[in-house]
Amino acid sequence: MSGVEVVGLILGIIPLVVDGLSSYKETINAVGSGIRKRKTIETLCRTLTEHRLALRLLLNCMLQNSGCEIPSDDDDSGIQTMLADSDTRQAMEDYLGSHYDVLVGAFEHCEQIFRHLITKVARLVPSIKESSELSSILEANKQSEKGWSDLKARISLTFKIKDFDKDCEKLRISIDTLDRLQRLISSNHQMAEQKPSRRAKKLATALWRMRNYAEDLYLALFKRWGVNCHQSHEVKLLLEDRIQELGNPPNRIRQKQDLPVQAFRLIFATDICAPNCLWHESMVYIVGRDQQDSGCCNSPNAGSQGAAGRKLRVKINVPESKPPVEVAEEIKDICSAIGAARNNNRHLTFALTKDRRIAGSKTATGQLKPLASTARETVPLQALLQPGSTVTRVGGGGGAPSATAVRMSPKTKMYLAWTITSNFLQLLHTPWSSPRLCAETIKFLHSPQDGADLDRAFMSMSFGPCPQGAGATSQGSVASPDLPLREALVELGILLLEIWHETTLDKAYPPDAATKRSFLERRGCAFAWLEEDRDVPVEKYYQAVFHCISGSVMNVVSGVPTWDDMRFWESMCESVIVPLHSFSKSWKPSQ
């Protein structure tokens, strides 16, 4: 038996077990070790009773919201009959939508806990010596001539007290899980019925504009590469918080971000082994936009001292970032422009114009500050999440790098989760996030001596010398990635789980080596991981991950949601980005 019907079995078997345990407790002497046994049995009976109440309240809530009749509290047989009815199940499926499988999985997990407990209770009913099937136990008890009194007389326990305590803890965790699910489902339906907050709408509009700028940036770069300069060109787009629509950002984000409004930080690079190699970090400012177009973002003076003023061990020679007062010239060949500026002891800062053109402004290199080192190696996030990884880390907590594996600090996790989630929308459905935003495609600057700088995550794109069809069509539009919206959300939720647990999904749930996991299999593993007893994410982090994996942020859209539906953007901000931002404010940076 599976599905919601297992709830009826659990509700029916709990009174039998509680009564049997209570009768057995009375046979134990209240002296010596017997006192400990009696208290342990009392704890389990109380936990079972609380568990039954939580299940019953959750079931009543679902039945009522589904438009079904609620049986009386003492009518266990009636509730089992109702849950077995196909009309009732269909009504609940219609109400729960995409959450149905999640909740059924939680119920079935409860059944597994009870089955595990029943195997430790020998000779539970007269006609069954040892059985773990709840339905068989219930049926046999009904057929027993003496009924429950016979059950109470025959029950005996064959397990250790320590195992008993473990069962109590498992039941407590299961109650907490069901409570979270109940509140999330309730809030999700309220969210679908209510209009998004003004805060979420404002943030969604600002992120939408940044997404359009990111798309324009790609198209502008696509047209500005030479033919015979290098075999290929790589552009690293740093994942930074460019929006302050949530009010004052957390201290950590405010200190780490030196990115003014409407600007991207890029690193232009070629093969470092080539004789004419290129490595150039620069701001790309958005210019030529009217006041209405930029009204939802920060002011250009919002930047702080910037990367040059921080004591980072992974550094690039760049001047202090300031928006160009005026654009000197249009750039038609990026490599040639960077080389010419370098030959004249100038640093080139870029600007993206309204007509998708790249222009440049040169700054005297005398403004450069002495820096410790230049790191041109990169390391993917996936390498940092491998068990036993010895990739050193800097940033996100200070201190000297270590040659041994070091866990991320909570501040680092939250900053990384926040910037990745914000950039998920900023880069949504653009070539920058192709093929997907995941641990393999998110990278960090790294050097063997100084380690990986976790404060400077980036995504990379490669451009050939003649980039025909490398992500843009002949008409100059952006070719959209093929990953469906629901799958992209699930991958984001998986990425947040991987950051929280500091390991990959495949390490936590090893796949069959012979086959590649399907989307539904990855989603199922992600749900199982989210509900694990160990290291459960805090509530707001859990909420953000749940909404991504379940796809509930798409429920506000009737029919099949699309990438460009503003209702989805607003729902994403309300359910995922705002909770993560709210939680990240509680983490203060190290002094």
Please tell me the distance from the alpha carbon of residue 20 to that of residue 561, in angstroms, as a whole number. 52
Instruction: Report the half-sphere exposure of 516 (CA within 13 A, side-chain side).
Output: 1
**Cα separation of the two ends of the chain:** 57
**Cα-trace Rg, the chain:** 29
pLDDT in tens, 46-78: 877 887 887 787 777 777 777 777 777 666 667
**What is the b/e burial string over 151-180, where b = at least 16 CB atoms within 10 angstroms of the residue's CB?**
bbebbebeeeeeebeebeebbebbbebbeb
CA 499 to chain centre: 8
Query: Does the model's pTM come out above 0.75?
Result: no
Q: Where are the beta strands (DSSP E) in 381-492?
A: 393-394, 443-447, 451-463
Percentages of the chain per state (helix, strand, coil), in multiples of 5? 50, 10, 40
**What mean pLDDT comes out for the span 319-339?**
68
The structure tokens listed for 527 are 């749900």
C-beta separation of 14 from 49 below 8 A: yes
HEC readout, 296-310? CCCCCCCCCCCHHHC
Q: Which of 14, 181, 28, 15 is nearest to 100 (CA)?
A: 181
- Give the separation between CA 131 and CA 120, rounded to whole angstroms: 10
d(CA 542, CA 523): 15
At residue 346, the 3 state secondary structure works out as strand
CA–CA gap between residue 358 and residue 221 (Å, rounded): 7
418 — pLDDT class (breaks 50, 70, 90): confident
Q: Which pLDDT belongs to residue 550?
A: 84
Residue type, 166: K
Instruction: Give the whole-angstrom CA distance, residue 457 versus residue 233.
Output: 19
Q: Can you say whether the dihedral through the CA atoms of 410, 308, 268, 329 is positive or negative? A: positive
Residue 274 has pLDDT above 70, yes or no: no
> Is the C-alpha dihedral spanning 578, 579, 583, 589 positive or negative?
negative
Residue 333 near residue 348 (C-beta atoms within 8 A) = no
Please give the Cα distance from 509 to 531 (Å, whole number). 13
Average pLDDT score, the chain: 71
Does the pLDDT value for residue 530 go beyond 70? yes
pLDDT on residue 118: 66
Give the model's pLDDT for residue 391. Answer: 57
90-115: pLDDT as tens digits: 888 877 776 777 777 777 777 787 77
